[in-house]
Structures are given as structure tokens and as C-alpha cells.
């Protein structure tokens, strides 16, 4: 139920507005002067204010400015609807410029009152949701850790963020390259603009050009309508090319031209589109070696590698593992609406001693599993099952035959590798050296499913 405060010196106006708004389900408070209304707001801020322009003592225009000062920094302003009589339209328009949402003319139309209040509250709700979403996104861009390696990494990101230069982020799979890219964007002057990402490894080569540059209606079979590409969507913001080393040479040539000229044409189009995009790329491959092998264009490599940033593997900063584990416990508990669990010193020590081939992503997956599957309110050393260990400390020698033991190991191995690769089948198949179709068959035969009722990604 939304709280509405009515500030008007006319008793009949206060009563009629109170009755109609109460009938609509709002909780209504009233004040006969601006001073009373401001006191009420200080005690218990309402969701919306209906404020008369002409009031004894402090008038509505002055009260509006006082209400604006009460807002919290970084929060959307409280919606204020001005009530005006004849001959005060000019003053009312000025209050709109000063931050009022809208105005209502006397004599009041109750239908318009209801509609205006509803719209103002809806706008306020959307603004608060948007702010919460942005806060959530910023929280996800936190690079947790205070080790010397992380301190140096954060300093490099801050310095790079201040410029518009292209950045190439390298590092092992799961080491946090996307988080670094997001943090770089949010710390930059473009931080309030779009951050658009594309995983170059996840999109078939025949579609990636359309994804990057968009297409016109009828450009190819299935192109039922025109569509903007990632470059256009990232205009004035940042474009993040993840796994840039997986682009074909043909696509690399077109991306190089778009980067150099900040101009491109849609697939099937003839009009040049000009954009202003800051490029951030990432890869887990050695692009210098790929250049020597002829698998990556040398000119594109030097174009995107203006500021190199290397993400350290988790095993190189073990002192950050306890802080990361606690961070994931807190954030995942909030995400699932569960009471946060405590993790023992012995459990943290075991986590810190593990080699983490899947890096931070693997650690997050382990913490997520411990949070969801555990029944107690704490996580102990015995609860932690890491790659290479068997469930409950069991030994494969307990199985009666070789096939049983091999199947048990294979299922356990595939599960762990899928978790390390964020349940992406293609990346897992590449990591373990099997054909994707073969891995699909094994997943099906072992009845393996993604966690949380999700789906395995291609």
C-alpha cells in the first residue's frame, strides 16, 4: 500500500482527496500547511505528495525545494504533484522545471487525480527498480581480493578506465575477465551508457556478422525484420568482445575496419552507420602465438592490444580465497533468499590449498553447491568435495567391476568439468578433448542436468 501525503490549507480539498484516494487503496495523510507537511515528511517519508501552490506561510514552490533537499543522495526524488488554482499556471510550470512530477487544476477532476497519482507512483517504482538493478550490476562487477596481485590489477583498471583506449584482457577461463571489463566500463566516463557484450565463441560464424553489425529486413533467410547489431547498441558506451580469439579471419577483417573507422554497414544494407564505441576485448588464448600461426590477424591484434590487462589465476592469489568464499556465500544467500551460512576455518583452509583449475568460476560453483545441498547452517571441511575427490570419501575400488568404476568416474569427471565451464557443452568438450556430439551422448546416458533447474548451454 502506497502512502500519500496531501498538503492543502482547504479542508474540503483535503477531505475529498483523502476519500477518493483511500477508496483506491492508498494510505492517506494530510497537512494544512507546508510546515506541517514538511514535519510529517521528516518523521515518515511518504511515497508521493500532493502539494498546493498557495499556502499560508511557506508556499508550495518553496516547500517543493525543501522536499527536494530531503532526498537521499543517489536516490530518485520523491514524486510531488502540484495543486493549482486559476491564474497560477505560470508559477506551476516553474515548479515542474524545479522537479514537480505534474500539476492538477482546481476544481479537481477526481478521475485525473487518480490517473496522475497512479502514473507518478508507477514512474517512481520503475526509477527505484532501475536504481536497484544498476546497484546489483555494479555489485557483480566487484573484483574481490586484497592480495598484491589484485591491488595491482585494480590500479591498472582504474588507470585504463580514465582513457578511451582499447583494452585487451587476457587470462585463464573463469579468472574474471568479464568482471574486469564491466568494472573498467563503470569506472570510465561512459559508465552511465550501455555496456554491450558478445561471446564470439558462442555464436555460429554464419551469424556473428549479423550479431555484430545488425541486418536489414530480408537480408537472409529468416531475417523477418531489421535488427540493430552490437556495435550500434553500444554507441556512446562500451563493446565487450569476449573470446575474441575465436572469430574467423573473415569476421576479424570486418571488425578491424569497424574499429578503425567507427563506421559499418548492416548485413544487406547500403547505408553507413557511424558510432562512438569504446572497445574492450578478452581471450584465454595466446593471441601472439595465434598471429604467428596465421589464426589471428596481426593488424587487429595490435589494434585491440593498446592496454593489456592480465587476470591472475586464482592459484596465484590464494590469500584472496577466504574473502571470495565469504563474498559468494553472502551474495548467493541473498539471491536464493536463504539464511547465510558460516564457513569454518578448516573449510576455508581446504579451499585455499586447492589448485582451482576452473579459477573463480569453479570456486563460485562449489560455494553454490554447498549452500544449496547442505542441510546444516554451517560449512565444515568434510562437506567440501573438490575435483579429484569422490563423494563422501568413497573409493572407486568399492565397485565390483571395471565398467562400474569407470562409469562412476566418468560421470563425476564430466560433472566437474561442466561446472568448471559454466555448464557450457561446447567449452567443456573442447577442454576435455572430445567431440561435442560424443559429450552430448554421455550427458544423456548419465542423466546429467544443469543445477537449479537450468539448462546446459551450447
Which uninterrupted H or E stretch holds 44? none
| Helical residues (DSSP H) of 354-450, grouped into ranges | 359-373, 402-420, 425-432, 436-446
| Helical residues (DSSP H) of 235-276, grouped into ranges | 249-261
CA 303 to CA 205: how far, in whole Å? 22
CATH 3.40.50.2300 domain extents, the chain? 3-135
What are the DSSP E strand ranges found in 86-164?
Answer: 102-105
Cα 105 to chain centroid, rounded:
42
Q: What is the pLDDT of residue 394?
A: 46
Which uninterrupted H or E stretch holds 7? strand 3-7
Each residue's pLDDT tens digit in the chain (458 positions)? 789 999 999 999 999 999 999 999 999 999 999 999 999 998 888 999 999 998 999 999 899 999 988 876 556 788 999 998 765 667 777 888 888 999 888 889 999 999 999 999 999 888 877 776 665 566 556 799 999 999 999 999 999 999 999 999 999 999 999 999 999 998 999 988 889 999 998 888 888 999 999 998 888 888 888 888 999 999 999 999 999 999 999 999 999 999 999 999 999 988 899 999 999 999 999 999 999 999 999 999 999 999 999 999 999 999 999 999 999 998 888 888 888 889 999 999 999 999 898 899 999 999 998 888 777 788 998 888 776 554 444 455 666 777 777 888 888 788 878 877 777 888 888 888 888 888 888 888 888 876 544 456 66
φ, ψ of residue 80 in degrees (nearest 5): -125, 125
CATH 3.40.50.300 domain extents, the chain? 148-312
Please determine, looking at this structure, whether the domain spanning 148-312 carries the CATH number 3.90.1820.10: no
Please determine, looking at this structure, whether the domain spanning 3-135 carries the CATH number 3.40.50.2300: yes
For residue 22, give the nearest of 101, 112, 114 by alpha carbon: 114
Rounded to two decimals, the pTM is 0.60
DSSP state of 133: H
Fold of 388-458: Arc Repressor Mutant, subunit A (1.10.10)
What is the distance in angstroms between the CA of the first residue and the CA of the last residue of the chain?
44
Dihedral angle computed from the Cα positions of residues 362, 364, 369 and 370, in that order, rounded to the nearest 10 degrees? 120
We find that the CATH architecture of domain 314-386 is Orthogonal Bundle (1.10)
In order of 46, 47, 189, the CA distances from 193 in angstroms are 31, 28, 9
CB atoms within 10 A of CB 332: 18
Q: What is the pLDDT of residue 458?
A: 67
CA 293 to CA 190: how far, in whole Å? 36
In order of 67, 102, 113, the CA distances from 119 in angstroms are 20, 10, 10
Identify the bridge partners of residue 4 per DSSP, sorted by sequence position: 28, 48
CA 94 to CA 80: how far, in whole Å? 13
Which uninterrupted H or E stretch holds 379? strand 378-379
For the sheet with 80-84, list strands across it.
27-31, 3-7, 48-52, 80-84, 102-105
Looking up cell 538493478 gives 133
User: For 327-331, which contacts have Cβ atoms below 8 Å and span 24 or more sequence positions?
Assistant: 327/142, 327/144, 328/363, 328/364, 328/367, 328/368, 329/367, 329/371, 329/379, 331/139
What are the DSSP E strand ranges found in 183-285?
Answer: 195-199, 214-215, 227-228, 238-242, 263-265, 272-274, 278-283
Which uninterrupted H or E stretch holds 164? none
- The cell for 237 is 558506451
Asked whether the beta carbons of 304 and 259 are under 8 A apart, the reply is yes
CATH 1.10.8.60 domain extents, the chain? 314-386
Looking up cell 551422448 gives 441
3-class DSSP assignment, residue 314: helix
Q: What is the pLDDT of residue 352?
A: 92
For residue 458, give the nearest of 424, 417, 433, 435 by alpha carbon: 424
Strands 272-274 and 263-265 come out as antiparallel
Asked whether the beta carbons of 55 and 19 are under 8 A apart, the reply is no
φ, ψ of residue 393 in degrees (nearest 5): 75, 20
For residue 256, give the nearest of 210, 193, 298, 211 by alpha carbon: 298
CATH 1.10.10.60 domain extents, the chain? 388-458
CA 399 to CA 408: how far, in whole Å? 9
Which uninterrupted H or E stretch holds 48? strand 48-52
Cα 88 to chain centroid, rounded:
45
Amino acid at each position: 500500500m502506497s502512502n500519500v501525503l496531501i498538503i492543502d490549507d482547504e479542508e474540503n480539498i483535503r477531505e475529498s482527496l483523502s476519500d477518493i484516494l483511500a477508496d483506491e487503496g492508498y494510505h492517506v495523510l494530510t497537512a494544512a500547511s507546508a510546515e506541517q507537511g514538511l514535519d510529517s515528511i521528516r518523521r515518515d517519508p511518504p511515497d508521493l505528495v500532493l502539494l498546493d501552490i498557495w499556502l499560508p506561510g511557506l508556499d508550495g514552490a518553496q516547500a517543493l525545494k525543501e522536499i527536494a533537499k530531503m532526498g537521499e543522495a543517489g536516490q530518485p526524488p520523491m514524486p510531488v504533484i502540484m495543486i493549482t488554482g486559476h491564474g497560477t499556471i505560470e508559477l506551476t510550470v516553474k515548479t515542474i522545471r524545479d522537479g514537480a512530477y505534474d500539476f492538477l487544476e482546481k476544481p479537481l477532476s477526481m478521475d485525473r487525480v487518480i490517473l496522475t497519482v497512479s502514473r507518478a507512483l508507477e514512474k517512481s517504482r520503475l526509477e527505484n527498480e532501475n536504481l536497484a538493478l544498476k546497484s546489483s550490476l555494479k555489485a557483480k562487477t566487484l573484483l574481490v581480493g586484497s592480495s598484491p596481485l589484485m591491488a595491482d590489477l585494480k590500479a591498472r583498471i582504474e588507470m585504463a578506465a580514465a582513457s578511451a583506449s582499447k583494452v585487451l584482457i587476457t587470462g585463464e577461463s573463469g579468472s574474471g575477465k568479464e568482471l574486469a571489463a564491466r568494472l573498467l566500463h563503470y569506472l570510465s566516463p561512459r559508465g552511465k551508457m550501455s555496456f554491450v557484450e558478445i561471446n564470439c565463441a558462442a555464436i555460429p560464424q554464419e551469424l556473428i556478422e549479423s550479431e555484430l553489425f545488425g541486418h536489414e529486413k530480408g537480408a537472409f533467410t529468416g531475417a523477418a525484420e531489421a535488427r540493430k547489431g552490437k556495435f550500434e547498441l553500444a554507441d556512446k558506451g562500451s563493446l565487450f568482445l569476449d573470446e575474441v580469439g575465436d572469430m574467423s579471419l573473415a569476421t576479424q577483417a570486418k571488425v578491424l575496419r569497424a574499429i578503425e573507422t567507427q563506421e559499418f554497414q548492416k548485413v544487406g544494407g547500403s547505408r553507413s552507420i557511424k558510432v562512438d564505441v569504446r572497445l574492450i576485448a578478452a581471450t584465454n588464448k595466446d593471441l601472439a602465438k595465434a598471429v604467428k600461426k596465421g589464426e589471428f590477424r596481426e593488424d587487429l591484434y595490435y589494434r585491440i592490444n593498446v592496454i593489456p590487462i592480465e587476470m591472475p589465476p586464482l592459484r596465484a592469489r590464494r590469500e584472496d580465497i577466504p574473502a571470495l568464499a565469504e563474498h559468494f556465500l553472502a551474495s548467493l544467500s541473498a539471491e536464493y533468499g536463504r539464511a547465510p551460512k558460516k564457513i569454518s576455518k578448516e573449510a576455508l583452509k581446504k579451499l585455499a590449498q586447492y589448485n582451482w583449475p576452473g579459477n573463480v568460476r569453479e570456486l563460485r560453483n562449489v560455494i553454490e553447491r554447498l549452500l544449496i545441498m547442505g542441510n546444516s547452517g554451517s560449512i565444515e571441511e568434510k562437506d567440501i568435495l573438490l575435483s579429484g575427490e569422490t563423494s563422501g570419501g568413497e573409493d572407486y575400488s568399492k565397485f565390483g567391476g571395471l565398467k562400474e568404476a569407470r562409469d562412476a568416474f566418468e560421470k563425476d569427471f564430466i560433472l566437474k568439468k561442466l561446472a568448471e565451464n559454466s555448464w557450457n557443452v561446447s567449452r567443456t568438450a573442447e577442454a576435455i578433448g572430445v567431440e561435442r556430439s560424443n559429450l552430448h551422448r554421455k550427458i544423456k546416458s548419465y542423466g546429467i542436468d544443469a543445477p537449479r533447474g537450468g539448462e546446459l548451454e551450447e
